[in-house]
């Protein structure tokens, strides 16, 4: 049912890829340390590039399975780059861009914040 709803909204859910990411994060060799960018299949630097670069990003807020972002110029957002970086889907409304990345949203959001500092 979720897949049907997602397709009607133009979202292509790749559930096997999402599950692979959950498994790879859960099977870290040292589970006592927090997850880092190296533990995920999401490339935070490529997400920044796909959002038009650091200068184009106003805000990044992780929320459950997505990064809610605000950009200065929406025309600089490259969905193909975001998907190659590991995004499952991208939703846009004006300068608000949601990058769906799966359960690593908090970790990826933190990694992006570090890159933007």
The catalytic residue positions are 63
Structure tokens at 45: 């630097």
How many separate helices (H) and strands (E) can be counted in the chain? 5, 4
Instruction: Please state, in angstroms and rounded to a whole number, the distance separating the CA atoms of residues 41 and 103.
Output: 11
Three-state DSSP class for residue 49? helix
Contacts of 42 (CB under 8 A, 6+ apart): 21, 85, 86, 87, 101, 102, 104, 108
């Amino acid at each position: 049912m979720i897949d049907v709803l997602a397709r009607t909204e133009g979202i292509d859910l790749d559930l096997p890829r999402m599950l692979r990411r959950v498994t790879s994060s859960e099977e870290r060799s040292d589970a006592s340390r927090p997850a880092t960018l190296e533990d995920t299949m999401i490339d935070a630097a490529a997400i920044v590039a796909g959002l038009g670069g650091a200068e184009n990003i106003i805000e990044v807020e992780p929320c459950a399975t997505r990064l809610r972002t605000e950009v200065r110029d929406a025309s600089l957002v490259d969905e193909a780059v975001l998907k190659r970086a590991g995004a499952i889907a991208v939703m846009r409304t004006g300068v608000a861009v949601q990058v769906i990345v799966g359960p690593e949203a908090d970790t990826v959001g933190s990694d992006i914040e570090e890159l933007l500092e």
